[in-house]
Amino acid sequence: MVGWILKKILGSKNQREIKRLKPIVRRINEFDEQLKALSDDELQAKTVAWKTELAAIPELPDQWAKLDEILPEAFAVVKNAARRLTERQHAFAVCDQPMTWNMVHFDVQLVGGMVLHRGRISEMATGEGKTLVATLPLYLNALTGKGAHLVTVNDYLARRDADWMGELYRFLGLTCGCIQHDQPPDIRRQQYAMDITYGTNSEFGFDYLRDNGMAATREQQVQRGYNYAIVDEVDSILIDEARTPLIISGPSTVSTHQYDKWKPLVDQLVRKQTMLCNRLASEAKELFEQGKSDEAGLVLFKVKLGQPRNKPLLRMMEDPEKRKALEKAELSFFQDTRKEELFALKEELFFTIDEKSNESDLSEQGRAFLNPDEPDSFVLPDLISEFTEIDLDPALSDEAKEKAKVERQQHCDAQAERIHNISQLLRAYCLFEKDVAYVVEENKVVIVDEYTGRKMPGRRWSDGLHQAVEAKEGVQIDRETQTLATITIQNYFRLYHKLAGMTGTADTEAAEFHDIYKLDVNVIPTNRPVARQDANDRIYKTRREKYNAVINEIKECHARSQPVLVGTVSVEASELLSRMLKREKIPHNVLNAKYHMQEAEIVQRAGQPGTVTISTNMAGRGTDIKLGEGVAERGGLFVIGTERHESRRIDRQLRGRCARQGDPGGSRFYVSFEDDLMRNFGAADRMTKIMERFGLEEGQELEHPWLNKSVETAQKRVEQRNYLARKRTLDFDDVMNNQREVVYTYRNDTIDSDEPRKLIYEVIEEAVPGKVKEFLGTGAAGGEGNYGALLNWVNITFPLGLTREKSQFETRTVDENAQFLIEKIKDAYERKSSHEEPTAVKSLERYIILNAIDRLWQEHLYAMDALREGVYLRGYAQKDPLIEYKTEAYDMFVDLMANIKNEVLHNLFRSTSNLQAFENFLSTLPQFLLREHAPGAPTATGNTSDVVAGNAEGDGEVKLDLAPVRRDVPKVGRNEPCPCGSGKKFKNCCGRTA
Ligand code: ADP
Ligand code: MG
C-alpha cells in the first residue's frame, strides 16, 4: 500500500528513468535544427570524422565513453538524414517492391534508441516503428568499425529491414548487409564485413558454430567478432526459442534402437490399455447413474492415470459434477499418506502416463505382457549391490572381478536401453497426437511447433523420441543423429560485448530478462495514446460452444465490414475455424507462419474493410497492419483470441496487433474449460466454484473481470514453471559453455598461429611427463619403475629407435627421464620435418591438432548428451542431477584435454605433408624400427590441399544436417520446491493436478 502511494507521488522506476532521458531528447532536437544548415556532404563528413576518431581509441571502455559523448549529435545526424530523405521523397526498392522514404524519428523513438544504446530492452508497442528506432543505436555503435548486428525472427524480415533501413545508412556513408539462409560462405563474409548486418538468430548462431567448430583456416571463417547486437522481438528469441538449442548434427556412428522390434508389442499393449480404460469409463458412468459419485471418481481417476486423453473421459469432464468427483479422488491420492494405495491403483493398469511431466511407467502387468518369460527384463538391476557382491567374492581374482563388473555394467546398459525404447514408444503413442504435435508428410514425421503451429521440417525430437514416433506411424526410421556442434541461443548472445533488445511485450518477463541476460526493460510511452478496448474474456464449458461463439462474433464484425484478426494456438484450430467459416460462406485468409514473405503481404491487408484473417501466434509477426479506408469509423481492427495462451505475453502480443499509433481497435479472448491451460493448471477448478456462485446454467457463457484474473493466475503459474525449465536448460548448458569456450579458443589459437610448431612442442612438454609418470610413478631414480613398458610405449609412438641400453632410464629420476624424452622427440621431429616443405609442414601441424580436437570433442559431446540424460536417473537416488552433471562433466573434460594431447603425440609421426618426404625420413631410421613399429608405412593424411579444405580423409566428408534439433527440457520434479516460492513441494502447490 505504501509502495503504491509512493508510486503515485514519485512515478514508477521506469517513469523516472524515462524522464531522465528527456533533456537528451531536447539536445538531439537542437542539434537536428543546427544540422539543417549543412549540405549533404557536410552531414556525411560527420560519419567519417567520428569513425576516424573512434578507430584511434584502442580500449573498448574508452570507445564506449566516446560514444556516450557523441550520442546526441550522432542521433541528430541520423534523424536529420531521415528528414532529408523524407523531404525529397526518396524512392528505392525493398524486397523488390517500390518504396518511398517517409519517416522522421519521433521523440519517443529517440528515447527508445537511447535505451537500446545502453544495452537494455525497449518495450515499444507494435506499430511504434521499432525498425526505425534501431537505426539510431546501430549507426552510433557501428562507428566503432567493429560491426553492429540486428537480429530478426526470420529471413524475410532481415532482408526487408536491411533493404529499407540500409537506405538511411548508405546515405550517411555506412555499409549495410544481411545474412540469408542460402548464402555461400564468401557472400556471408562480405555481409559480416559491412558496418551493419541484419540476420536471424539461427544464421548468426550457426555461423558461429561453423567458424569456431569446423573451419580449418581463417579464410573459412565468416564472422568478425561480437560487438553490439540488437535483438528484435527479443522475447520471442530469448524466451520462446530458448528451449531449442542450435545443433549441427551428423548421422550417428552407433545406432542402438530397437523401436521397430518393440512397436508391434507396444501397439497391442496400448490397444489393451485403451480397451481397459474404455471399460473403466463406462463403469464410472454407470456408477454416476447410480449416484455413487465417490466410487465413480476413483474409477475415472484410474482412467486418467492410464490414458489422460481417453475420449469418453474427456467427454465426461465436460460435466462439472463428474469433473469434481475425479478431482476429489485425485487430490486424496496425491497425499503422501496414500502413496501405497496409489501404487496399487497404478498396478491395475498396464502402464501409466503423466501428461504434465511427460513420463510413462510400465506396471508389473505391462512388463509381463511385453516379455512373459522374463518380466524382470524391464527393471534396472541394482548395480551397486551386485558390484559389492563381486568385490566380496573371495573366489574371484582381481581380473575376474573386473571382468564380471564390466559384464554386469553391459547387462544394465542393455536393460536401460530397452526400458528407454519402450517408454519412448509409450510416450509416442499416448502423448503425441498426430496432426497436433506432428504431421506425417512424404513418409516423414514433421514436428509442429507447439507455440506457433508452424511445421518445422528438418527438426527432430531428441533422445529417440523421434524414432519412436516414426515407428508408431510406420514410416522409415531415420538414423539417430549425433551432435557435432551445439550452442544455446542464450549463450550465443552472451558473446556480444553489448546486447540490447526490442519488442512489444517484455514487461511481464522482465525478471527473467534481468536474471538470465542481465537485460533491464524500459517501457517506452507510445507516440499517441492507446485507444484499444480490451473486452472481458468469454468463458464456455466446451470447445464446441466456444468456437460457435467465435464464429458468431466474426459474422457480426463481417456484417458491418469491420476487419477481424483471429489468433489461434495451433494449426489444427486454425483449420477448424477455417472450415466453420467456409460453411458460413465468409471469405477469409489462413496464416500458419510458413511462408514469411507471402504472409507479410496478407497480414498487411488484414486491416482492409471486411477482411477476416486467421493466424497462429507467430504468423506475420513484425509486419505492420495498417487500417484501410473507413475502417477507423467502424471501430478499427478487431482481434479475437480463440484460447488463452500459456503465457500472458503471447496474449498481449496478439492484442497489440490492433490499435497501432492511436488507431481505434478492440480485442476479446474466448476460453473454454476444455482448453489445455484450464485442464492442466487448476484454473477450471476455481472457475467451477465461481460459476456456481454465479449460478451458471448449462450452455451459458460467462464474463466477468474476476474470471480474467483467474485465468491469469493460471498463466502466471505456467510462466513460472516454464521459466524454471528454461533456467535449468541454461544451467546445464553453462557447463558445456565453459568447455566450449576453452576448446574453441584452443582451436582458434591453432588456426591463427604462425608457428604451430610451438603448439606442438607445448603438447609434447605437457603430455610426455604425464605419460612417463604413468609408467614410472613419481619415485626417484632407481625406484620401482616399469621401464620396459615405458620403452614399449615410446617406441610405438615415436621413431626414436631406443633400446634398453640406449635409454638408460634407470639412471635418471622420473623428471629427468621426461626431459630426456622431450628432447629426443623434439629432435626427431625436427629431423623429420626438415625433409618437408615448410608451409606444408605448418598446415600439417595445424591439422594434426585440429583433427585431434574435432574428433575427440565430438565424442565428448556425444558422451555429454548421454551423461545429461543419465543424471536424471540418479535424481531418484536423492542427488541433485545438476551437481552430478557438473562434477562428472568436469572430470570428462579433464580427460578430454589430456586425450587431445595424447592423440596429437600419437599422430605426430604418423602424418606427413608429403609421402616422398616421409619415406626419405624413414630411410634414415634404424631398420628394426621400420619393421617393428612402422608396419606398412605411415597412416598418412594425403596431401595438403585436403588439409586446407578441412577434409581429412579425402572421402570422409561429414554430411551436415544444419537444422536445429528440438530437445526435451528438464521439468520441475514433483518433489522439488515449487518455483512460486511458497516453500511447498511443487506437486502440492502449483504442480497440483487439476
Ligand atoms: P514495430 O516494429 O514497432 O511494430 P514497424 O517498425 O514495423 O513497427 O513500423 C510500423 C510502421 O510505422 C511502418 O509502416 C513505418 O513506416 C511506420 N513508422 C515508423 N516510424 C515512423 C515515423 N517516425 N514516422 C512515420 N511513420 C513511421
Ligand atoms: Mg517490428
Angle at CA of residue 245, ends 891 and 571, nearest 5°:
150
Confidence at residue 706, expressed as pLDDT on a 0 to 100 scale: 78
Alpha-carbon torsion (976, 982, 983, 989), positive or negative: negative
Find the range with the poorest average confidence among 309-313, 700-704, 937-941, 980-984: 937-941
CA of 503 from ligand 2 middle (Å) equals 7
Average pLDDT rounded to a whole number, residues 710-718: 86
Q: If you ran DSSP here, which 8-state letter would residue 836 be given?
A: S
* Span from the CA of 126 to the centroid of ligand 2 (angstroms): 7
Beta strands 521-523 and 148-152 are: unpaired
**pLDDT value for 2:** 57
Average pLDDT (741-763) is 93
- Quote the distance between the C-alpha of residue 905 and its chain's center: 37
What mean pLDDT comes out for the span 954-972?
Answer: 29
- More confident: 503 or 950: 503
Q: What residues line ligand 1, using a CB cutoff of 6 Å?
A: 103-106, 109, 124, 126-132, 624
pLDDT value of position 975? 65
Which ligand gives the minimal distance to the CA of 126?
Answer: 1
Query: What distance in angstroms lies between residue 196's CA and the mean position of ligand 1's atoms?
Result: 20
If one residue of 83, 111, 123, 132 were mutated to test the ligand 1 pocket, choosing by the most ligand atoms within 8 A of its CB, it would be 132
What residue owns the CA closest to ligand 1's atom 2?
130
pLDDT number for residue 647: 86
Q: Which residue has the higher pLDDT, 927 or 502?
A: 502
pLDDT one-digit tens code per residue, 596-605: 777 778 888 8
Residue 220 has pLDDT above 90, yes or no: no
The span from the CA of 40 to the CA of 171, in Å, is: 9
Pocket test for ligand 1, best of 80, 234, 624 (most atoms within 8 A of CB): 624
Give pLDDT, residue 806. 79
Q: Which atom of ligand 1 is nearest to the CA of 105?
A: 23
Average pLDDT over residues 907-927: 52
Q: What's the pLDDT tens digit per position in 282-335?
A: 999 999 999 998 899 999 999 999 998 888 998 888 788 888 898 888 888 776
CA of 431 to the centre of ligand 2 (A): 36
Cβ density class 911-949: b for 16+ within 10 Å, e for less: bbbbeebbeebbeebeeebeeebbeeeeeebbbbebbbe
| Residue 418: per-residue pLDDT | 80
Span from the CA of 158 to the centroid of ligand 2 (angstroms)? 11
Statement: residue 980 has pLDDT above 50: no
CA 234–ligand 2 middle distance (angstroms): 10
What does the pLDDT read at residue 941?
26
Q: Tell me the average pLDDT across 160-165.
A: 96
- Report CA(507)–ligand 1 centroid distance (Å): 21
Give me ligand 2 centre to Cα 9, in Å.
Answer: 34
Residue nearest to atom 20 of ligand 1 (CA): 129
Say which ligand is closest to the CA of 164: 1
78-82, 132-136, 529-533, 947-951: the lowest-pLDDT one: 947-951
d(CA 891, CA 272): 46
Provide the pLDDT for residue 33.
97
pLDDT number for residue 933: 26
User: Using one digit for the tens of pLDDT, what is the confidence trace for 368-387?
Assistant: 888 877 767 776 666 666 77
Q: How far apart are CA 409 and CA 420, in angstroms?
A: 16
| Share in percent of the chain as helix, strand, coil (round to 5) | 60, 10, 30
Ligand 1 atom with the smallest distance to the CA of 131 is 6
Residue 918 has pLDDT above 60, yes or no: no
Of 159-163, 341-345, 347-351, least confident by mean pLDDT is 341-345
The tens digit of pLDDT for each residue in 141-151 reads 999 999 999 99
Q: So what's the pLDDT on residue 930? A: 30
> CA 330 to CA 881: how far, in whole Å?
29
Smallest CA separation from ligand 1 atom 22, residue: 103
Nearest-CA residue for ligand 1 atom 9 is 129
Over range 675-698, report the average pLDDT: 69
Q: Residue 950's pLDDT band (boundaries 50, 70, 90)?
A: very low
Mutational pocket test of ligand 1: of 106, 131, 233, the residue with most ligand atoms within 8 Å of the beta carbon:
131
Q: Which amino acid is at 93?
A: A
pLDDT at 913: 53
* Lowest model confidence (mean pLDDT) among 278-282, 302-306, 399-403, 925-929: 925-929
Q: Is 863 exposed, middle or buried (0-12, 13-18, 19+ CB in 10 A)?
A: middle
Q: What is the pLDDT of residues 426-441, one digit of tens each?
A: 989 988 888 888 888 8
Ligand 1 center–CA 203 separation, angstroms: 25
Asked if 826 and 761 touch (Cβ cutoff 8 Å), the reply is yes
For the cut 50, the answer to whether the pLDDT of residue 927 exceeds it is no
- Higher per-residue confidence, 663 vs 861: 663
Distance 623 CA to ligand 2 centre (A): 7
Ligand number, closest to the Cα atom of 135: 1
- DSSP reduced 3-state for 360: strand
Provide the 10 A C-beta neighbour count for residue 81. 27
Residue 232 Cα: closest atom of ligand 1: 2
In this predicted structure, the answer to whether residue 914 has a pLDDT above a threshold of 60 is no
Alpha carbons 624 and 627: distance in angstroms, whole number:
10
Considering the chain, what is the average pLDDT of its residues? 82
Question: Residues 892-913: pLDDT tens digits?
Answer: 899 899 889 988 888 787 665 5
- Among protein residues, the one with the nearest Cα to ligand 1's atom 14 is 624
* Residue 59, SS3 per DSSP: coil
- Give the whole-number percent of the chain exceeding pLDDT 70: 82
Task: Tell the residue nearest (CA) to atom 25 of ligand 1.
Answer: 103
CB-based contacts of 298, cutoff 8 Å, min separation 6: 329
Work out which ligand 1 atom sits closest to the CA atom of 124: 3
- pLDDT tens digits for range 186-218: 999 999 999 999 999 989 999 999 899 888 888
Per-residue model confidence as pLDDT tens digits over 612-651: 999 887 677 778 888 998 999 999 999 999 999 888 888 9
